[in-house]
Amino acid sequence: MSEDARRLHSPVRWNDTIPAARWPGGQPRFTIDVWFYLAAFRGELGHLIRVARRHASLVGDGKPRLVSQALTGATAAELWMTARAVRHYHERFEQARKGQPIHRDDVSWEFFVGAAGLAEHLADAMRARSHVDFANAFTALGMLEFCEVVLEVCPPVTFDFSVPPIPADAIPTDTDGPEPEPAADATPTDGDGPRPATRTSPIKVDGIDFSAVVTALRLNGKSKPKQAALVEYMSDKDEATVEDVAEHVHDRAETPDKTIRSNADATNISLEGVEPRLRFVVKAGRVFRMIVPE
């Protein structure tokens, strides 16, 4: 069956009654257009606001100093990564709309100006020496309020994952075709289904050479063996339980979840200079491998 026959209808919807959903990663099996990038931008912007509020609530909350530093460090890293995703999708949106004109009745001039200004301010703040310095600058410059204003004028375009994907031509897909990715906010089940078979040949997914990424991390310093191990272990998996990651990446079945999460966050930061499309998210007792489309 041809590749076109396996393409799906886009899950992008114009709907102001459901929350903005994040694109979970992976190569889309539908046509990517300007509305896809706008929906992805809106989803990341909404998440950026949530993380910024959480980070602000942790600063000076009365917890012991070490606990407070650990919590704010984790939210600062997530804030930095989400800000990068906001900039990424805004850049792609601007590129896409050059070839796909948008009617002014659909997207206001206030949004174009506000989104461009926000992307510029984020770029300036991200020149900070660390993700913690970036989070501090984000808070000090009042960027949370700026984000809220841009989200308010952003068109209500989002991903609707509540409807099962349907082939664009209504022809059933091949059974060996890639499965659609789960929604970012969906709660995964903890089923004990069979694990993917271990591969011995170099793995490439969506153009990412995992073997090269692993090698780059291993050559990039003695502090990154667990980061390389995470990428290597997840190279042929979309997700894995934290128990499996603890055993195969950290070599200890009793490794705390916070250690697994910290390693995933540190890996994401290192990947910015190696393969920025690749990232890992720990949620609901599982580790998810996500690939941001170009």
Task: Return the pLDDT at 104.
Answer: 66
CB 178 within 8 A of CB 205: no
> What is the per-residue pLDDT for 140?
79
CA-to-CA dists, residue 267 to 77, 121, 140, 223, 247, angstroms: 11, 25, 27, 11, 18
pLDDT surpasses 60 at 26: yes
226: DSSP letter: H
Residue keyed to tokens 């339980």: 241
Helices (H), 165-236: 210-219, 225-233
Domains of the chain: 4-159 (no CATH), 204-291 (1.10.10)
- Tell me the per-residue pLDDT of 127-175, one tens digit each, with 9 for 90 and over: 877 888 888 888 877 899 999 999 999 999 898 877 666 665 543 333 3
pLDDT the model gives residue 200: 36
pLDDT of residue 101 exceeding 80, the answer is no
**Residue 256, amino acid:** P
Percentage, residues of the chain above pLDDT 70: 75
Which residues on adjacent β-strands are paired with residue 281? 288
Task: State how far the Cα of 173 lies from the Cα of 166, in Å rounded to an integer.
Answer: 9
More confident residue, 170 or 69: 69
Of 67-81, 87-101, 135-149, 199-213, where does mean pLDDT reach its minimum?
199-213
Percentage of the chain surpassing pLDDT 90? 20
pLDDT value at 191 more than 50: no
The larger pLDDT score, comparing residue 4 to residue 273, is at: 273
Mean pLDDT of 79-105: 87
pLDDT at 192 over 50: no
- Model confidence at 292, pLDDT cuts 50, 70, 90, reads confident
Using DSSP's 3-state secondary structure scheme, residue 109 falls into: helix
First and final C-alpha spacing in the chain: 26
Alpha-carbon distance of 212 to 218, in angstroms, equals 10
